[in-house]
Structures are given as C-alpha cells and as structure tokens.
C-alpha cells in the first residue's frame, strides 16, 4: 500500500518496507558466508574420530540432507517472501502459538549453542597461536572472556551490514581455500596419502552406525542456509532469484567442505587429526606446508569463529527482545539501553546462558551437536509445514518442490534428531534444559499477563525479525 501523504509504500502497520538491495551476487555471497564458519574449522577432527579416513562422507551426506531441506525452504520463501523464517512457516501451517514459540526459542537456543561452540574453538586456536600451554579451565576462562567481549560489542550495537558480510565471507573462505590449495600441492607433489580417503575406522561401532553418528555432527557445518530466508524482504525479485542462488550457494559450500576434508585426511592420519590438543586444520597446515606461517592461519580461524559467535549472539538477543516485545517472554527482557538503543536485558540473558554452556559443557562436539539437534527438529517441522501449506493458495507464482523431497527431508531430519542416529544423550539434556527455560519463562509471562490484564500471549512471528541482524550460524 502507499502512504496518502508521502506517496511512499508502507507495510500494513504503517511502517516503511525494508529496502530491496540484494541482487543475485550479494545474495550468493551472503549464503556462502552464512554456511561457512565454525563447523568445518572445529569439527573435522571429531568427525574423523567417528569414521576414520572417509571423513568426507558424513559432510557429503549432511550436504544432501541440507539440500533436500533447502528445497522446502525455497517453496516457502517464494510463497511467503517475508523475513520471519521457520517461525512464520510454523505459524501459518499449524496456527498454534505455543508451537510457534517453541520453534522460535529453539532457533534462538541454536544461536547460543553455536556461539558457545565458536567460543570454545576460539580459545583452543588462541592457545595454539600464542603458544600458551593451557587446557581445561584455562580454555574455559578464555572462552568466558571472549564471550564477555562479544557481549560488550553487542551492547554497543555493532551489527553487520551486507557489504561487511562480503568481507567476512572472503576471510573465512580464504582459510578453507588455503587447506584445499595445500591438499592439491601435496597431490601433485606426491606427498600425502590419498589412499586414506577410502578407509573406514568406526571403532566398536558398525560402519553404518559410525557414519550416521558422524553425519549428525557434520550437519552442524551445513546449517546457516536457512537464515537467508530472513533476507527475503531485502532481496530484489525474491521469487525469481532465490531458487537458483540458494542452490548454487549450497553446491559451492558442499564442494568446499568435501575438498577440505579430503585434503585434511590425505595429509594427516585420522588418529592425529582427531587429537583434541590441536585444532584440526592447523595440524593440516603444519603437515602439508610447514613453511606457511601457522600464526596467520590461526588468526584467520580465530576471525572466522569470532564472527560466528558475534553474529549468533546478536541474532539470539534480538530474537529474545522480539519475543519479550510480543509478550510471550517477560517484558523485563525487552528493556533497551538508553543512548545505545540496544536490548541490554536480552543481551545479558543470552550471555548468561552462553556462560553456563561454556562452563558446564565446554566441549565442541557436545555444543555443536546440540546446535545441529535443535535445527534438525526445526527442519523437520519446516518439511512437514510445506506439505500442510499446500492447501494454502497464493496469487503469485512460486517455486514448488517435488512432494517426495519434503517427505524424505522430514524423515531424514527427524531420524538424525533421534537417539537411533547415535546422538549423545548429553545433547538432549542441553537442548531440553534450554527449551525448559523458555517454557518456564513463557508460563510465567502468561500468568503475569492474566493477572495484570495485559491480554493473552499472542505471538505474531512477522514481528520477530525487525532489527535482527543476519549472518553465519555455524
């Protein structure tokens, strides 16, 4: 609609619409940067410990599952080109406010677990780069200090624009291209053992069980593409360009991950790659290019994971602020810092949750696995929502995924989220505690709303994305 006074377009609540600034090039860089991040930098060694030399296989399977789910997101984002993501699709499909809240809180929680994973990876890389001989509580203290610094930056209101995301993407990508380049040099120079890429070593597990368990971990490296749907209102002609660009972005990142994992295992045996004392890709650089300045690669890695932590904590705090503003979380969490105009109570709340995870969990596989678990549940809901919303007709043409894909996607994501996939019980405890905190706060808010006459807690997911930043998830 247009404003009668100014002639400018406005949304249904009288606000100006978001500016459509992203064409195919910027959207592609955004998606590639969104997927690249902590996962491949921190979990390559853990995946190798599960399957041995075929470390590339779980990343490939995770890519296929992510690609199938991406088709569901494509149908929904071209059908409803609004910046609200999974919460919006859940709300339209099921219309149950509590379920919409759980999906939104699960997305928020995945941001905190992802940032905590990044904090741990940052600590380990910092100790290696600066040659500080610490472990255990020393690594934890560095992680806590790093997260406190992230909170301070968050309080200052430093977000990330699309153009800065291009720069950050290039930095993150450079580290992975270095690994691929070292692997290619080793291949053509006759160094390394590329025969290892076909060797299975799943320990006391069967081959299938080991690969499935490793895929559940590797999936953490493929998440992030779903964030791109939050850019729908800032993309030029989203119905036309989203399908081609999103699929291209996933293909690029999937290829990079497979090449990185092949290069890693060719240069470093699985038992050494999975050594927790040294970040896995640093060990690869040391083995394949001993003259390459390790400190430079370490700084690139630290920068990549630091960016992951900052963006995810920005997202999580803004989502908590949006939920508080919608009166489904306590209004206290919706307080804004005067002057800076940042949601300080939401930042404090999400930072305290991250502190707890870093202190009492700490380990990268547990935190990364919990991130994957939470998003696998969300992806299962989204795949089902596609099928439910087939009955909802819209006037505009939109992408339509073959029916078999959301069915397969729902089954695959649902299975990978169950204990049958070999997922550690600790991940369910972490996810359960986080969601339980959300449910308790929701119940308290509902009770307070009734007592004060503020009305029922009605969640409109389109209000959750307002000032939320966008960026890498993993």
- Convert the pLDDT of each residue in 249-282 to its tens digit: 999 999 999 999 999 999 999 999 988 777 888 8
Task: Give the confidence band of 376 by pLDDT, cuts at 50, 70, 90.
Answer: very high
d(C-alpha 202, C-alpha 41), whole Å: 21
DSSP result, 350-416: HHHHHHHHHHHT--HHHHHHHHHHHHHHHHHHHHHHHHHGGGS--SS------THHHHHHHHHHHHH
- Predicted confidence at residue 159, as pLDDT, reads 47
- Looking at 28-42, 107-121, 344-358, 424-438, which range is the least confident one? 28-42
Whether the predicted pLDDT of 465 surpasses 70: no
Please give the structure tokens belonging to residue 280: 């896995």
Closest of 272, 301, 366, 285 to residue 53, by C-alpha: 272
- Predicted confidence at residue 456, as pLDDT, reads 64
- Predicted confidence at residue 248, as pLDDT, reads 93
CA distances from 430 to 77, 108, 274 (A): 30, 14, 24
Average pLDDT over residues 66-71: 94
Higher pLDDT, 448 or 462: 448
- Convert the pLDDT of each residue in 325-363 to its tens digit: 888 888 889 888 887 778 899 999 999 999 999 998 877
Name residue 170's beta-bridge partners: none
Closest of 419, 421, 423, 412 to residue 65, by C-alpha: 412
Whether the predicted pLDDT of 430 surpasses 90: yes
Percentage of the chain with pLDDT > 90? 40
Cα angle 291, 294, 296 (rounded to 5 degrees) comes to: 115
For 288, what's the count of Cα atoms within 13 Å in the CB-facing half-sphere? Answer: 33
Task: Give the confidence band of 5 by pLDDT, cuts at 50, 70, 90.
Answer: very low
Task: Give the confidence band of 1 by pLDDT, cuts at 50, 70, 90.
Answer: very low
- CB-based burial label for 337 (10 Å; 0-12, 13-18, 19+): middle
DSSP result, 10-33: --TTSPPPPP--B-HHHHHHHHHH
Higher pLDDT, 172 or 71: 71
8 A C-beta contact, residue 138 and residue 127:
yes
């Amino acid at each position: 609609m247009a404003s009668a006074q100014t002639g400018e377009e406005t949304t249904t609540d009288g606000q100006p619409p978001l500016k459509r600034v992203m064409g195919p090039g910027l959207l592609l860089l955004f998606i590639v940067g969104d997927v690249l991040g902590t996962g491949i930098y921190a979990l390559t060694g853990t995946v190798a410990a599960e399957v041995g030399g075929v470390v590339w296989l779980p990343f490939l399977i995770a890519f296929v599952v992510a690609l199938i789910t991406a088709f569901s997101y494509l149908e929904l984002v071209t059908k409803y080109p609004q910046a609200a993501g999974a919460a919006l699709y859940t709300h339209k499909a099921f219309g149950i406010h509590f379920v919409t809240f759980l999906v939104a809180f699960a997305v928020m929680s995945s941001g905190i677990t992802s940032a905590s994973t990044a904090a741990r990876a940052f600590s380990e890389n910092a100790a290696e780069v600066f040659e500080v001989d610490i472990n255990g509580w020393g690594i934890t203290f560095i992680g806590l200090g790093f997260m406190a610094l992230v909170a301070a930056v968050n309080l200052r209101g430093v977000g990330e624009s699309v153009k800065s995301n291009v720069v950050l993407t290039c930095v993150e990508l450079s580290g992975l291209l270095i690994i691929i380049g070292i692997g290619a040099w080793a291949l053509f120079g006759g160094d390394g053992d590329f025969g290892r890429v076909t060797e299975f070593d799943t320990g006391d597990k069967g081959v299938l069980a080991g690969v499935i368990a490793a895929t559940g971990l590797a999936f953490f490296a493929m998440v992030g593409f779903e964030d791109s749907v939050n850019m729908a209102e800032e993309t030029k002609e989203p119905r036309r360009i989203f399908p081609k660009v999103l699929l291209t972005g996933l293909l690029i990142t999937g290829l990079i991950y497979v090449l990185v994992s092949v290069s890693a295992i060719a240069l470093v045996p699985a038992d050494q790659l999975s050594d927790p004392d040294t970040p896995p890709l640093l060990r690869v650089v040391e083995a394949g290019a001993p003259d390459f300045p390790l400190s430079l690669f370490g700084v690139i890695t630290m920068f990549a994971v630091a960016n992951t932590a900052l963006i995810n904590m920005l997202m999580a705090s803004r989502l908590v602020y949006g939920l508080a503003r919608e009166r489904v979380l306590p209004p206290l969490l919706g307080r804004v810092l005067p002057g800076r105009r940042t949601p300080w109570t939401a930042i404090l709340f999400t930072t305290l949750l991250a502190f707890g995870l870093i202190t009492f969990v700490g380990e990268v596989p547990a935190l990364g696995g919990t991130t994957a678990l939470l998003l696998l549940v969300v992806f299962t809901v989204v795949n089902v929502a596609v099928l439910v919303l087939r009955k909802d007709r819209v006037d505009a043409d939109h992408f339509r995924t073959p029916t078999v894909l959301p069915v397969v996607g729902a089954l695959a994501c649902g299975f990978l989220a169950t204990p049958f996939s070999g997922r550690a019980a600790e991940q369910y405890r972490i996810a359960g505690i986080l969601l339980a905190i959300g449910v308790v706060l929701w119940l308290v808010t509902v009770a307070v709303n009734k007592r004060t006459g503020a009305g029922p807690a009605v969640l409109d997911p389109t209000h959750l994305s307002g000032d939320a930043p966008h960026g890498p998830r993993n």
